[in-house]
Amino acid sequence: MDEQLKGLEQLTTEEIDVGLIQQYLQQLPDRALRFGARVLLALVVFLIGVHVIKLVRRIVRRSLKKGNADIGVTQFLDSFIKAVLYILLLFMIASGFGLDATSVVALLGSAGVAIGLAIQGSLSNFAGGVLILLLKPFRVDDYIKVDNDDHEGTVKEIQLFYTKLSTPNNHVVIIPNGTLSNSSILNMSTLTERRMDIKVGISYDADIRHAREAIMKVLEEDPAVLSSKDRRVFVEELADSSVNLNVRCWADNDEYWECKWRITEKIKYALDDAGISIPYPQMDVHLS
């Protein structure tokens, strides 16, 4: 009797399993069709959303441009709006697949500590970008130098999390906004004029007054050197192998580098014509 009952139970279970498999196979085409339709609809929504996001960003950029907003502010807001709208678009597509947005928000809230620790660097960079836009230590097209990292260049973009610099040797440096907001920044474009200091070493046997006259003549003849500013040539250091002079003058920011390179070259020619040598490091060895 027990064996018969066991056989009936086994037979019933097998019939149920076969029935479930048959039912699943019968429903599979409909499910695949519905899933494919959802995927296709999600793709269409995504493509439309991308075009809408581009349109919104274009409208915002035009409005800011008409309002004479700073380029850095425009770039920052553009990247911020882009990130927010794409997140909303992804949430909308996910909800089409049955994902409850409130459940996702609740899950993110419960995991807030872990997420905060994971993205604390990004949050710091975002906060740094906000501070840069509010305090405006520099703007796009300013030439800056970051003391902590020894990076310098022209500001090209101020994005949501980072700032792009173009260096004098045409390299692109990407610096996190958090680093910039916590660093000492030397903005060389705030004022229109910039001081240059050129160090020149002359021999101990040379006449300092004669060397000063030759260098001052170079400064007076250069058209980019500002005559309204102080021009000085003075002894800065008595070094081991040379007397180091400091050549100090001023030029406009736009002409700074060309002026500095030109004056440095002309100083060499002027000292050569005056018979004043620029020594190289040397050591005297005395044998007893």
pLDDT in tens, 229-274: 899 999 999 988 899 999 999 999 888 889 999 999 999 999 999 9
Structure confidence at residue 260 (pLDDT):
94
- Whether the Cβ atoms of residue 46 and residue 67 lie closer than 8 Å to each other: no
Residue that wins the pLDDT comparison between 243 and 150: 243
Structural tokens at position 254: 């736009």
Paired tokens of 44: 């269409």
* pLDDT at residue 210, as a whole number: 94
What local confidence, expressed as pLDDT, does residue 288 receive? 66
Contact 76, 160 (CB under 8 A): yes
Phi-psi region of 165 (alpha: psi -120 to 50; beta: other; left: phi over 0): beta
CA distance 159 to 172: 14
| Number of neighbouring beta carbons within 10 Å of residue 3 | 7
Compute how many other C-beta atoms are within 10 angstroms of the C-beta atom of residue 125: 23
Q: Is residue 38 over pLDDT 90?
A: no
H/E stretch holding 234:
strand 232-238
Q: What span, in angstroms and rounded, lies between the C-alpha atoms of 271 and 247?
A: 13
DSSP SS3 for 131: helix
Alpha helices by DSSP H, 69-119: 71-96, 101-110, 112-118
C-alpha separations of 171 from 59, 73, 156, 166 in Å: 32, 24, 12, 6
Exposed/middle/buried for residue 61 (C-beta within 10 Å: 0-12, 13-18, 19+): middle
- pLDDT range class, residue 8, cuts 50, 70, 90: very low
User: For residue 61, what are its two tokens?
Assistant: 């950029």
